[in-house]
Every structure is written in C-alpha cells, then in structure tokens.
Amino acid sequence: MGQVIFKDQIYTFDQIRTGNWQQDDKYLSQSLEFCKEWLNGKTDFELSTSGSTGKPKSINIKRSQMELSAAATKAFFKINKSPKLLVCINTQMIGGKMMLVRGLCWDADIYLITPEANPLIDLSLQKKIDFCAMVPLQVEACLKESISTTKLSDIETLIIGGAPPSQSLIQKIKTTGINAFQTYGMTETVSHIALAKINASQLIYHTLPNVKIGTDDANRLWIEAPMAIEKRLQTNDLVEIVADGAFRWIGRADFTINSGGIKILAEALEAELQKYIEAIFGGIQYFVFGQNDEKLGQRLVLFLETKEGDNNKAQELLMILKKEMKKYHYPKEIFILEAFIKTPSGKINRTKTSELCF
C-alpha cells in the first residue's frame, strides 16, 4: 500500500481515505483532499484549462480518463511496481493532479514538495526517485546548483511540461545526461499524450499507447485518444508528422504573425532569437508578438522580461537583429517589462502582457 510523504510526515493511503489528518499547510491539505476523493471512488473532477491562448475555462474530467492516462504513461515508461514519485508542481492544475493519480494508481510512495523554483535544493532522500514532473523554470533552477544537479541526474525518469524548454535548457540537459522527456498535452487530453526524449537536436514526440494523430489541411494536429474529452480533438498546434505516431512540433497557429503578407511563426522565430538575446541579457524570458499596424496589418515586436534600466542594451540588441535577421524577421520595436503576466500554470500570457504596453 502506497503513502504520501511530506517533509517528515507520512500519510498512508488508508489514513488518507478516512480523512484522518489535521494539517494547516494549504498545498498539502489540497493535495491530500484530492487523494481522499480519489481513494473514495469519486468519478468526476472539474479542472481549469491553463488560459495561455484564451480565457481559462472549466472542463469536467472523468476518473476513467485519468486512469487511462496513468496506465498509458506506465506502459510507455515500463514503470515498475510500487515506484517512488516526486510531486513538486501545482496539484491544482492537470499536470500536478495527474502526478497524484499516477502515484495512487501505481501504488507508489509519493514524495510531496511545495512547488518552488528549486524543489531539490533542500530535499534529502535515502531512496532514488523513479519518476518526477517539473516545469522548465524548475529544471533551469536545479541546474544552477551543483547539489541539485546531482539529485536531478539521479531521477530515473524526468518529464518536463507546462511550456516548451528553451534551446539552451535542452543543451544543458543533454550535457548533464539527465534522462528527461518533454511532454505534449493539455487539460483536454488529461495531461500528456506524447513525449519526446531530450537527446537530439530536434524534439520528436512519440504518442502514448492507443493514441492516434493526424493533421488537417492547415497542418494543425488532431488527436484521437481514449483519455481525451472529445473523440477527435482538433488543436491549434502546427506539426510535422515524421512517422506513424511521431511528430515534430512547429508552433501555435494562433501565435502566427502576419506582417505585410509574410507569415511568421512566433515560436520558431523565438528559437532563432535566443542566441542574440542570451549574449546580451543572459537567460531571460522573452516573446515576439504581432502589434496591430495600419500599413503592415501586424508589425513584429519583441518583449523582454528584464529591468527597466536595460534600454541601452535593448537598442544594442535591436541593431544586431536588424543586421543579422531577415527583413521581416527582426522586431521593429523592443518593449521591456520587469514581470510578464503568467497563467496559473506558469505560462506567459502573451495577449495580456502585450496589453500592458499597447
């Protein structure tokens, strides 16, 4: 029988089922309450979408869908019986809830940690973690400290979700030799339906068992999966199908910028900009956006999350990009903000952030 371990406190699944605990820690209480509902057979759960491309909305997820997702992940990774799981992401969102569901379905020891930038820095475990999920910012923070880098490398399987990792983070992961996989999924697919091992120059996603994929006429991915909320779920993600059940993610169709009739894929361009931005600003967050323009329809602009005193650096960057990038691929203006607006799951809300400047 599995258990939940939080700091020096241990809660067995039987104890959680009866609600026999008293705890003031909000994160722990919310996590245990979900586990209690699950262990007592609750069949329907209301979850919120991330809101990264629109307003967050509530959707109903069935227990059977979550069970299918957990079973597919177990089969994909060939998880052994009674594994050790580290849960260090928000358990109010689909990624964190599914980590709890996997632990409950796999009869695991669930090591629960309050989400923070570096969840491993103070972690002391006698036994090796078999499975863990993190967001890119957490992985980045862990790799800045030697002690947490070692702990990260000791995790048997690490999955990374919530947002695409930067090229520099991918390179760090490859250099360190961490057994890490980038996830592809959303609340509507009940967490990930495909995973890409981070060990090559390009991330190639492979679907979980019993998941079928294809594209529409605009090369947008559709998904047929037993755990998804619709029989065929049409996404706004532009992809290239490279083999049966395998694809390369290109970017979001709704992030495409049309400037003077030239279509610019935001995420693809951001990958090109990274080396120039990091050379001047280091590893900051940034994104490109299409600002409404009477002549061009949309003009390409760049947002940087850095201190306001960096205007001279921004002008230096603008001059370099104008020289190095194609005519329609360099930003016409750079906006500096000290903090971007984020969704509850930690993604950049591009529209709301841009509205701070437009």
- Top-confidence residue, 309 or 67: 67
- So what's the pLDDT on residue 24? 79
Question: Of 38, 48, 88, 79, which is closest to residue 186 (Cα–Cα)?
Answer: 48
Q: At residue 84, does pLDDT exceed 60?
A: yes
Query: Does 27 map to a domain?
Result: yes
Name the band, by pLDDT with cuts 50, 70 and 90, for residue 335.
very high
Same domain, yes or no: 85 and 163: yes
- So what's the pLDDT on residue 122? 84
Q: Total structural domains in the chain? A: 2
Among 177, 195, 211, which residue terminates a domain? 211
Q: At residue 318, does pLDDT exceed 70?
A: yes
- Helix (H), strand (E) at residue 302: strand 297-305
Q: Residues 188, 76, 166, 333: what is their CA dihedral angle, to the nearest 10 degrees?
A: -30
Q: At residue 164, does pLDDT exceed 90?
A: no
168 vs 178: CA distance, rounded Å: 14
**Average pLDDT of the segment spanning 26-35:** 94
Same domain, yes or no: 282 and 192: no
**Average pLDDT of the segment spanning 253-264:** 92
**Average pLDDT of the segment spanning 318-347:** 90
Give me the domain span that covers residue 350: 256-355
- So what's the pLDDT on residue 52? 53
- So what's the pLDDT on residue 55? 63
- So what's the pLDDT on residue 166? 83
- So what's the pLDDT on residue 197? 96
Cα distances (angstroms) measured from residue 203 to each of 182, 209, 216, 236, 253: 8, 19, 21, 19, 19
- So what's the pLDDT on residue 343? 81
33 vs 356: CA distance, rounded Å: 38
- So what's the pLDDT on residue 214? 97
- So what's the pLDDT on residue 155? 96
Mean pLDDT across the chain, nearest whole number?
A: 92
- So what's the pLDDT on residue 327? 85
The Cα diameter of the chain in Å comes to 66
Same domain, yes or no: 158 and 278: no
Query: Does 77 map to a domain?
Result: yes
Parallel, antiparallel, or unpaired: how do β-strands 157-160 and 131-134 relate? parallel
Contact 260, 328 (CB under 8 A): yes
Q: At residue 320, does pLDDT exceed 80?
A: yes
3-class state of residue 287 by DSSP: strand
263 vs 56: CA distance, rounded Å: 27
200 vs 183: CA distance, rounded Å: 15
Same domain, yes or no: 53 and 126: yes
**Average pLDDT of the segment spanning 251-279:** 93
**Average pLDDT of the segment spanning 8-35:** 90
**Average pLDDT of the segment spanning 124-146:** 91
176 vs 139: CA distance, rounded Å: 12
- So what's the pLDDT on residue 309? 79
Query: Does 16 map to a domain?
Result: yes
- So what's the pLDDT on residue 16? 94
Same domain, yes or no: 142 and 269: no
- Count CA atoms within 13 Å of residue 1 on its CB side: 9
Q: At residue 142, does pLDDT exceed 60?
A: yes
Q: At residue 218, does pLDDT exceed 80?
A: yes
Query: pTM for this one?
Result: 0.89
262 vs 290: CA distance, rounded Å: 12
Residue labelled with tokens 């090109």: 272
166 vs 273: CA distance, rounded Å: 11
- So what's the pLDDT on residue 127? 79
DSSP annotation of 209 reads T
- Top-confidence residue, 168 or 56: 168
Q: At residue 20, does pLDDT exceed 60?
A: yes
- So what's the pLDDT on residue 51? 57
DSSP state string for 295-352:
TTEEEEEEEEES-GGGHHHHHHHHHHHHHHS-GGGS-SEEEEESS--B-TTS-B-HHH
Residue 284: give its domain's CATH number: 3.30.300.30
Query: Does 194 map to a domain?
Result: yes
Same domain, yes or no: 16 and 140: yes
Crossing angle of helices 146-154/167-176, nearest 10°?
A: 70
Residue labelled with tokens 């000791």: 154
Same domain, yes or no: 186 and 279: no
Same domain, yes or no: 198 and 263: no
**Average pLDDT of the segment spanning 99-103:** 98
* Percentage, residues of the chain above pLDDT 70: 97
Residue 46: give its domain's CATH number: 3.40.50.12780
Structure tokens at 347: 């993604």
Query: Does 218 map to a domain?
Result: no
Q: Residues 67, 69, 73, 74: what is their CA dihedral angle, to the nearest 10 degrees?
A: 10
Same domain, yes or no: 175 and 262: no
**Average pLDDT of the segment spanning 316-343:** 93
Q: At residue 261, does pLDDT exceed 70?
A: yes
Among 211, 240, 265, which residue terminates a domain? 211
**Average pLDDT of the segment spanning 137-153:** 94
Among 211, 229, 245, which residue terminates a domain? 211
Query: Does 87 map to a domain?
Result: yes
Query: Does 220 map to a domain?
Result: no
- So what's the pLDDT on residue 347? 82
- Within 10 angstroms of residue 345's Cβ, the number of other Cβ atoms is 23
31 vs 101: CA distance, rounded Å: 11
- So what's the pLDDT on residue 53? 52
Same domain, yes or no: 203 and 267: no
Same domain, yes or no: 200 and 284: no
Same domain, yes or no: 82 and 203: yes
Query: Does 148 map to a domain?
Result: yes
